[in-house]
């Protein structure tokens, strides 16, 4: 599969989700986006804090709960969607901080920007761009977060190198993502739709952690992990899709 065709399928999928035309999830849906979000680690209080339309139920963790964000910090969210984690981070860093969301799908960026305006968030900024070529200046970010996005890029090393570039020395990452344990069926790996479902592009766990280290990160550790299970899941995938939360540091 060509990288560009994977990106086109993913943009088409997430454009439809942004416009409310589909409710596909990563990798399976709960009954509602809020239920799906509660199932992956958000609290009811988190969901009350953010605009309702920012909750799409397409994440696989709750990165701001683990990122230890502080007042005044600059945060970057990779693949920010409609902004659930951008808005949660914005509350934590306060008016003296700043949160940038980057997403390649125009309707996601438009939706996040509109919600920010409608709900009076003055410290957030949604930018159209690729995580493999971030539209962010070097050495300007304290913390990079991401929620179920890096599995979607065919070039994970380029993305983590970009993350390393934009972080300040001593900056940190808290990434929620899907990885694999064991082989996935070849037809799943070859399916563009399975890429958009956050399955086909997921990397084997140790290779994923090695990629983060190769990009220059130190102290790369798995904060938590759990097998991703859903009642309607393809039986051949059961136990092989792992939700991980990973920390890492850019050296001083
Ligand atoms: C599974 S959704 C997660 C959205 C958001 N993080 C959340 O939890 O609601 C993945 C998002 O990443 C974006 N995305 C996928 N690949 C990307 C890439 N290479 N560069 C920038 N954005 C990307 C998609 O457009 C989509 O909005």
CA 17 to CA 127: how far, in whole Å? Answer: 18
pLDDT at position 209 is 98
pLDDT at position 220 is 98
In this structure, which residue's CA is closest to atom 14 in ligand 1? 79
Q: How long, in residues, is the chain?
A: 252
The partner residues of 167 in beta bridges, in order of sequence, read: 141
Name the domain count of the chain. 1
Model pLDDT for residues 53-72, shown as the tens digit of each residue? 999 999 999 999 999 999 99
Average pLDDT, whole number, for the chain?
A: 93
DSSP state at residue 34: H
Q: Give me the domain span that covers residue 185.
A: 3-249
Q: Quick one: pLDDT band at residue 234, thresholds 50, 70, 90?
A: confident
Whether residue 118 contacts residue 51, with contact meaning beta carbons closer than 8 Å, is answered with yes
pLDDT at position 25 is 61
CA 238 to CA 235: how far, in whole Å? Answer: 5
Please state the rounded mean pLDDT for residues 18-44.
82
pLDDT at position 31 is 78
Instruction: Name the percent of the chain lying above pLDDT 90.
Output: 81
CA 111 to CA 94: how far, in whole Å? Answer: 22
Helices (H) and strands (E) in the chain — how many of each?
9, 7
Please give the number of the atom of ligand 1 that sits closest to the Cα of 159: 19
pLDDT at position 30 is 65
Q: Quick one: pLDDT band at residue 92, thresholds 50, 70, 90?
A: very high
Could you tell me the distance, in angstroms and rounded to a whole number, from the CA of residue 102 to the centre of ligand 1?
Answer: 8
Please give the number of the atom of ligand 1 that sits closest to the Cα of 130: 20
Q: What CATH number is given to the structural domain containing 232?
A: 3.40.50.150
pLDDT at position 29 is 61
pLDDT at position 128 is 98
CA 106 to CA 207: how far, in whole Å? Answer: 31
Q: Quick one: pLDDT band at residue 231, thresholds 50, 70, 90?
A: low
Q: Quick one: pLDDT band at residue 105, thresholds 50, 70, 90?
A: very high
Could you tell me the distance, in angstroms and rounded to a whole number, from the CA of residue 149 to the centre of ligand 1?
Answer: 5
CA distances from 125 to 54, 100, 114 (A): 14, 5, 11
Please state the rounded mean pLDDT for residues 147-152.
97
Selection from 32, 31, 10, 14 nearest residue 22 by Cα: 14
DSSP state at residue 238: T
Judge whether residue 51 has pLDDT over 90: yes
Pocket of ligand 1 (CB under 6 A): 10, 14, 26, 56, 58-59, 79-81, 84, 103-105, 108, 130-132, 147-149, 152-153, 198
CA distances from 137 to 105, 167, 176, 214 (A): 21, 9, 23, 21
Selection from 2, 231, 226, 7 nearest residue 104 by Cα: 7
Could you tell me the distance, in angstroms and rounded to a whole number, from the CA of residue 103 to the centre of ligand 1?
Answer: 6
Please state the rounded mean pLDDT for residues 143-147.
98
Selection from 218, 199, 198 nearest residue 209 by Cα: 218
Please state the rounded mean pLDDT for residues 100-126.
98
Please state the rounded mean pLDDT for residues 130-157.
97
Other C-beta atoms lying within 10 Å of the C-beta of residue 135 = 11
Provide the angle, in degrees to the nearest 10, between the axes of the packed helices 3-18 and 106-118.
30
């Amino acid at each position: 599969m060509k990288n560009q065709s994977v990106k086109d399928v993913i943009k088409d999928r997430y454009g439809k989700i942004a416009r409310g035309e589909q409710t596909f999830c990563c990798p399976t849906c709960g009954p509602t986006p809020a239920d799906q979000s509660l199932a992956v680690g958000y609290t009811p209080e988190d969901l009350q804090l953010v605009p309702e339309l920012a909750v799409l139920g397409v994440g696989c963790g709750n990165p701001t709960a683990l990122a230890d964000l502080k007042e005044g910090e600059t945060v970057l969210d990779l693949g920010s969607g409609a902004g659930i984690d951008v808005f949660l981070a914005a509350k934590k860093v306060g008016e003296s901080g700043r949160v940038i969301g980057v997403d390649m799908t125009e309707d996601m960026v438009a939706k996040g920007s509109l919600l920010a305006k409608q709900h009076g968030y003055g410290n957030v900024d949604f930018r159209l761009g690729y995580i493999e070529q971030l539209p962010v200046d070097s050495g300007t970010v304290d913390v990079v977060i991401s929620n179920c996005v890096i599995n979607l890029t065919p070039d994970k090393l380029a993305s983590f190198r970009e993350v390393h570039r934009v972080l300040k020395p001593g900056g940190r990452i808290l990434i929620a993502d899907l990885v694999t344990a064991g082989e996935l069926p070849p037809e799943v790996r070859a399916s563009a739709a399975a890429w958009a479902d956050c399955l086909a592009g997921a990397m084997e766990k140790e290779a994923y952690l090695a990629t983060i280290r190769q990009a220059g990160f130190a102290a790369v550790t798995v904060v938590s992990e759990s097998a991703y299970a859903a009642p309607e899941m393809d039986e051949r995938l059961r136990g092989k899709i792992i939700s991980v939360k990973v920390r890492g540091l850019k050296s001083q």
